[in-house]
Amino acid sequence: MMIPLFAINFLSAFSGIFKYQFMQHAFEAGTVVAIVAGIIGYLVILRRSAFATHAFAEIGFAGAAGAVLLGVSPVLGLLSASTLGGIGIAILGNRATHRDIEIGAVLAFMLGLGVLFISLYTGYATEAYSILFGEILGISWANVLLTLVISAIILVVAAFVYRPILFASLDEEVAEAKGMRTVLLGAIFMVLLAASVAIAVQVVGVLLIFALMVIPAATAVRLTKKPVYAILLSVAIALLATWAGLLIAFFEPYPVSFFITSIVFALYLMVRLLVRRQR
């Protein structure tokens, strides 16, 4: 009889936490972010864009820190800086994603700028901490709305260009010979990625961005060979980790991003060790 008892406790605890508005907001934002990150993450894996993903997060850090310094919403700074970074890389061209050295130089400089802005800002020092490691529990209703709107735009655009981007990622030369605008598609992807990173940073922070943008999709592609299934699975993993992370963090005094990262990492490890690669 232990199990039902636990289930009842679990359920009542679960409904209990929704009495708190900050938990409602965290779940709302966390849910849409997980959906977006799971989908865009699949394309990150397919296009080998993990490094660019991290770069956008760190470019976003400089933007967020600058916004804090100016007294503007850090989310706006984050979003505009990383999206500008996305447009910048897009202008440099498709191959820019493979220019690890150049991207590395830019992101190091951006982190440096971020550190400067943070040190110039004499007020509340935890701002930097929450940008770097995420602070979803304090998300405001305005930011939830902003996240919703941006996610909706990302998802609509992604659905629109889904097939061409998938094909160009798999077989760029043939796509080009078929007259597809592969450079333009790469640029659209970069901007989608930058915007997705910006909203995901709110949940897991700049430094833990891989927890939502890379690891769920990396786990999913080990379990299925069908793109649609891989995307659904990637979303499911991101959602599970986000929800469970929020739930645990409500009862435990440790950061949400730690739990999310641990859950996706444990799943990834399990799949790598236990599941034979689908061939």
Partner 1 sequence: MVKPAEVVSARGLTVGYKDKVVWKNADFSVKRGEFVAIIGPNGAGKTTMFRLLLGLLQPVSGELRVFDAKPRKGNQKIGYVPQRHTIDNETNIECIELVRLAHSGNKLGLSLSPAEEKKAAYAALEAVGATDLAHKSLASLSGGELQRVFLAEALVSGPEMLLLDEPLSNLDLKRIKDLVGLVHDVVRSRNVTAFLVAHDINPLIKYLDRVIYVANGKVASGTPEEVLTSRRLTQLYGTRVEVLKDSQGNIVIVGGAEGHHED
Residues that bind partner 1 (CB under 8 A): 45-46, 48, 159-164, 166-168, 170-171, 173-180, 221-222, 225-227, 277-279
Contact, 237 vs 38, CB < 8 A?
Answer: yes
Q: How far is the CB of 180 from partner 1 (least distance, A)?
A: 5
Closest to 166 in 3D by CA, of 56, 33, 42: 42
Which CB atom, from 125 or from 177, has the smaller least distance to partner 1?
177
Which CB atom, from 26 or from 231, has the smaller least distance to partner 1?
231
Q: How far is the CB of 190 from partner 1 (least distance, A)?
A: 18
Which CB atom, from 80 or from 222, has the smaller least distance to partner 1?
222
Q: How far is the CB of 228 from partner 1 (least distance, A)?
A: 9
The Cα diameter of the chain in Å comes to 65
Which CB atom, from 72 or from 180, has the smaller least distance to partner 1?
180
Alpha helices, DSSP H, located in the chain: 2-17, 21-47, 50-70, 74-92, 100-120, 126-133, 141-170, 172-177, 182-204, 210-213, 215-220, 227-251, 256-274
Q: How far is the CB of 9 from partner 1 (least distance, A)?
A: 40
Which CB atom, from 190 or from 220, has the smaller least distance to partner 1?
220
Please give the Cα distance from 75 to 200 (Å, whole number).
11
Please give the C-alpha separations between residue 255 and each of 135, 251, 261, in angstroms, as whole numbers.
8, 11, 10
Would you mind telling me the total number of residues written for the chain in this entry? 279
Q: How far is the CB of 159 from partner 1 (least distance, A)?
A: 6
Which CB atom, from 2 or from 156, has the smaller least distance to partner 1?
156
Look up tokens 């359920």; give the residue. Answer: 11
- Give the up-direction half-sphere exposure of residue 271: CA atoms within 13 A in the CB hemisphere: 21
Q: How far is the CB of 53 from partner 1 (least distance, A)?
A: 16
